[in-house]
Homo-oligomer: A and B are copies of this chain.
Amino acid sequence: MLNSDPTDINGLLARLQTMLGPTGFLSGADTAGYTEDWRRLYQGVTKAVLRPANTADLAEVVRLCAAAGAKLIPQGGNTGMVGAAAPAADGSELVLSLGRLNHIRDIDAADMTMTVEAGVTLKAAQDAAEAAGCLLPLSISSEGTAQIGGVLSTNAGGNNTVRYGNARDLVLGLEVVLADGQVWNGLRRLRKDNTGYCLRQLFVGAEGTLGVITAAVLKLVPRPREIEVAFCAVASPAAALEVFGHLQARDPAAIQAFEYMSGAGMALVLKNIPDTALPLAIPAAHYVLIELATPRQNAGLRDLLEEVLAPAMEEEKVLDAVIATSEAQRRAIWKLREEHSEAQKREGASVKNDVSVPVSAVPTFLAQASAACTALIPGIRVVPFGHLGDGNIHFNLEQPIDMDGAAFLARDHEIMDTVNEVVRSLDGSFSAEHGVGRLKPYMMPQWRGGAELDIMQRIKQALDPLGMLSPGRVLP
């Protein structure tokens, strides 16, 4: 049926160019914006960026590439943290951009669902949900650029997973183009459906290695009517967890964020970021940011915060606390959390670890990992922060003040290994939110080896026997 010679890459490109036209087929200098990952870890080269305008065209592109033995890298907003979406440096991979599949197909406020194509940005999807009177409860810092297809392929997390779960938890249905060009239309809007294997969760988080997500049905929730944000100095991470437990026991559905910051990290924010100020009288070694929100009217979230924080202050678990009384104050508090990465960047070289442990093990993890890193490199600055309510800590290490940045970074693997040894001893994960991509497949055998990696490889082989989709990503 196909006339192309399997080894004739030029024939394939000519055919794709004819089929996709000038908007849908980019080559040469026009590929520049698609060949480097967001963190600039990988500088790639590609013969073409393919930008089909709809699912049928995308399926035809995949069929043609499969027949020609070409390799494809699906790419959304290209905001990933582990390099999955950048093509290889040897020019062997074509980029399959989802950006033109950017339609919101349906919003049903009664059903509380929306059907969106993969190339819609997360922000555009959020806005559409809001216009329909609903909330798409997923928020990440790259949401203005990140696209739904990538958000799902990486199972994005963010600040609100403590309440609503990861991207995975919001998916009711998917449309996926398989490696052989078949289209699976699984765009069902059902809350209950026990008819065979749960395929959608296989593609969510697979980082483009098993198929190309082209559209999804997402769950929506009611918009909150009341929001309260508190900022607390706490005696210890364990004390912070106690506060979390008290809130959970009283109103778990209202906890929209529960974020941890260290005194060291806060000091860097206050030093390096303009227009920031500690909203408390005295600095402390540990802080938490609590956001409560609910669609209930007159919910008394402020009373709830006071009811939980007051006895904790008497017990000296909470050393000081402030509850924002205006949107401006809320934003100022959130800024202290959100500028942590930038503040660290301005301070010099840093090594990042996006790890998770069971929630109850976070205090142990912080103590042991801090001690181990300090023993490894005296003077190292431990600046952990992140999603305490999920057990997900961005355990970042800043170079000693008097050390050369490059010399510090030269030891990055030693540092990561040191942190990860503690994570493993607590049955944690080396990648809580960011995924595996091209950066971390080498870690898979040690962490997910044996039966687990064997199953993953068999599934990869079953769904992509030619290894044409995102080769070298996720699996070693």
Report B-chain residues with C-beta under 8 Å of the C-beta of A360.
108, 110-111
- The winner among A162, A168, A253, A391 for most chain B CB atoms within 10 A is A253
Tell whether, in the assembled complex, residue A444 and residue B356 are in contact, meaning their CB atoms are under 8 Å apart.
Answer: no
A434, CB-defined interface residue at 8 Å:
yes
Interface 0/1 of A82-95, CB less than 8 Å to B: 00000000000000
Instruction: Please pick, from B194, B252, B295, B389, the residue contacting A432 in the complex, using a CB distance under 8 A.
Output: B194
A192, CB-defined interface residue at 8 Å:
yes
A250, CB-defined interface residue at 8 Å:
yes
A189 to B112, CA, bound (A): 29
Report B-chain residues with C-beta under 8 Å of the C-beta of A18.
none
Closest residue of B by beta carbon distance from A245 = B110
Given contacts A183-B451, A199-B456, A201-B198, contact A429 B193 (CB under 8 A): yes
A474 to B166, CA, bound (A): 29
Given contacts A154-B194, A198-B204, A433-B192, contact A463 B458 (CB under 8 A): yes
Instruction: Please pick, from B112, B359, B450, B459, the residue contacting A110 in the complex, using a CB distance under 8 A.
Output: B359
Interface 0/1 of A443-465, CB less than 8 Å to B: 11001101111111011011100
A245 to B133, CA, bound (A): 12
Report B-chain residues with C-beta under 8 Å of the C-beta of A197.
202, 205-206, 210, 455-456, 459, 474
A313, CB-defined interface residue at 8 Å:
no
Report B-chain residues with C-beta under 8 Å of the C-beta of A210.
197
Given contacts A194-B432, A222-B249, contact A189 B427 (CB under 8 A): yes
Instruction: Please pick, from B196, B444, B452, B459, the residue contacting A475 in the complex, using a CB distance under 8 A.
Output: B196
Given contacts A194-B434, A195-B429, A390-B192, contact A108 B252 (CB under 8 A): no
Interface 0/1 of A180-214, CB less than 8 Å to B: 00111110111111111111011011100010000
Closest residue of B by beta carbon distance from A303 = B298
Tell whether, in the assembled complex, residue A432 and residue B251 are in contact, meaning their CB atoms are under 8 Å apart.
Answer: no
A296 to B252, CA, bound (A): 9
Q: Tell me, rounded to whole Å, the shortest Cβ–Cβ distance linking A129 to chain B.
A: 14
A471, CB-defined interface residue at 8 Å:
no
A353, CB-defined interface residue at 8 Å:
no
Tell whether, in the assembled complex, residue B198 and residue A455 are in contact, meaning their CB atoms are under 8 Å apart.
Answer: no
Q: Tell me, rounded to whole Å, the shortest Cβ–Cβ distance linking A201 to chain B.
A: 4
Q: Tell me, rounded to whole Å, the shortest Cβ–Cβ distance linking A44 to chain B.
A: 22
Q: Please give 20 more A-B residue pairs, beta carbons under 8 A apart, in addition to A195-B436, A201-B201.
A: A108-B358, A110-B245, A110-B360, A157-B194, A183-B451, A186-B452, A190-B429, A192-B387, A192-B432, A193-B431, A194-B429, A194-B432, A196-B205, A196-B444, A196-B475, A197-B206, A197-B474, A455-B463, A458-B463, A459-B459
